[in-house]
Amino acid sequence: MIKQEINEIKRLFTPSSCSITRICGCYIDGEKNKKTDFKEAFLSLPEEEIFKYFELLRKTLSGSIGKNLLNLEFPTDTELEGGTQEFLLKLRDSKLKDDALLEEFYDRVIGSYEYVGNYLILLIHDAYDVPGKALDGMTMDDASDTVFEYLLCCICPVALSKPGLSYDASLNEFHNRIRDWVVNMPETGFLFPSFNDRATDIHSTLFFNKNPEEPHSEFVEGILGCSLPLSAGSQKETFQTIIEETLGEDCEYEVVKNIHENLAEMIEEHKEIPEPLTLDKKEVKNLLEKSGVEEEKLKDFDALYDAAAGDDTALFVSNVASTRSFEVKTPDVVVKVNPDRADLVNTMMVDGRRCLVIEINDQVEVNGINVSVAEKAPE
Same domain, 332 and 285: no
Q: Is residue 154 part of a domain?
A: yes
Helix 281-290 vs helix 232-247: crossing angle, to nearest 10: 50
Domain count, the chain: 3
Residues of the domain holding 337? 326-371
- The rounded distance, in Å, linking the Cα atoms of 221 and 314 is 21
Q: Is residue 19 part of a domain?
A: yes
Q: What is the dihedral of CA 277, 265, 269, 336, to 10 degrees?
A: 80
Looking at residue 176, its pLDDT comes to 86
Same domain, 311 and 352: no
Q: What residue ranges in 246-366 does DSSP mark as E strands? A: 278-279, 315-316, 326-329, 334-337, 345-350, 353-358, 364-366
Same domain, 297 and 209: no
Q: What is the pTM of this model?
A: 0.86
Residues listed for the chain: 379
Looking at residue 355, its pLDDT comes to 85
Same domain, 357 and 301: no
Q: Is residue 378 part of a domain?
A: no
Same domain, 159 and 273: no
Looking at residue 143, its pLDDT comes to 60
Same domain, 248 and 215: no
Same domain, 258 and 206: no
pLDDT 10s digit of each residue in the chain, 379 long? 999 999 999 999 999 999 999 999 999 999 999 999 999 999 999 999 999 999 999 999 999 999 999 999 999 999 999 999 999 999 999 999 999 999 999 999 999 999 999 999 999 999 999 998 766 666 666 666 799 999 999 999 999 888 888 888 888 988 888 888 899 999 999 999 999 999 999 999 999 999 999 889 999 999 999 999 999 999 999 999 999 999 887 778 888 889 999 999 999 899 889 899 999 999 999 999 999 988 888 999 999 999 999 888 899 999 998 878 888 888 888 888 888 888 888 888 888 888 888 888 778 888 888 887 766 555 5
- The rounded distance, in Å, linking the Cα atoms of 16 and 241 is 49
Q: Is residue 379 part of a domain?
A: no
Asked whether the beta carbons of 264 and 271 are under 8 A apart, the reply is: no
Q: Which of the listed residues 228, 247, 266 is the one where a domain comes to its end?
A: 228
Looking at residue 362, its pLDDT comes to 77
Long-range contacts from 309-315, C-beta under 8 angstroms, 24+ separation: 309/230, 309/238, 309/242, 309/281, 311/281, 313/229, 313/230, 313/238, 313/280, 313/281, 314/278, 314/279, 314/280, 315/230, 315/235, 315/238, 315/239, 315/278, 315/279, 315/280, 315/284
Q: Is residue 63 part of a domain?
A: yes
Same domain, 104 and 203: yes
Q: Which of the listed residues 282, 297, 320 is the one where a domain comes to its end?
A: 320
Sign, Cα dihedral of 214, 220, 221, 223: positive
Same domain, 104 and 207: yes
- The rounded distance, in Å, linking the Cα atoms of 272 and 257 is 25
Looking at residue 376, its pLDDT comes to 58
Same domain, 253 and 203: no
Looking at residue 74, its pLDDT comes to 97
DSSP 312: T
- The rounded distance, in Å, linking the Cα atoms of 263 and 54 is 37
Q: Is residue 377 part of a domain?
A: no
Q: Which of the listed residues 228, 245, 265 is the one where a domain comes to its end?
A: 228
Same domain, 9 and 136: yes
Looking at residue 377, its pLDDT comes to 53
Q: Is residue 32 part of a domain?
A: yes
Looking at residue 375, its pLDDT comes to 65
Q: Is residue 91 part of a domain?
A: yes
- The rounded distance, in Å, linking the Cα atoms of 364 and 379 is 25
Same domain, 210 and 78: yes
